Amino acid sequence: MKKLTARVVAALKLLSLEALLLGGVFLASFALFFYLVRVVFGAPTVAFDTWAFAQMDALRRAVPGLTAVMQAVTFFASLPFLVVAALVLPWWLRRRGAARAALAVFLAVAGAALLNQLLKTYFHRLRPSSALVQQLGLSFPSGHAMIGLSLYGCLAWLVWRRGHHPAWAAALVGWALLIGLTRVYLHVHYATDVLAGFAGAVLWLGLLRAGLKMFRPETVRGEK
Q: CA–CA separation, 28 vs 140, rounded Å?
A: 19
Q: CA–CA separation, 188 vs 127, rounded Å?
A: 6
What is residue 221's predicted lDDT score, i.e. its pLDDT?
46
What is residue 220's predicted lDDT score, i.e. its pLDDT?
44
pLDDT tens digits along 64-73: 899 999 999 9
What is residue 222's predicted lDDT score, i.e. its pLDDT?
47
Mean pLDDT, each 10-residue run in order, the chain (224 residues) = 58 56 70 76 78 95 93 95 95 90 95 95 92 89 96 93 82 96 96 94 90 70 47
The pTM of the full predicted model, rounded to 2 decimals, is 0.84
Q: At residue 220, what are phi and psi to the nearest 5 degrees?
A: -115, 130
pLDDT tens digits along 2-30: 565 655 555 555 545 556 666 677 677 76
Give the torsion sign (CA, 73, 157, 90, 92). positive
Cis peptide before 141 (omega within 30 of 0): yes
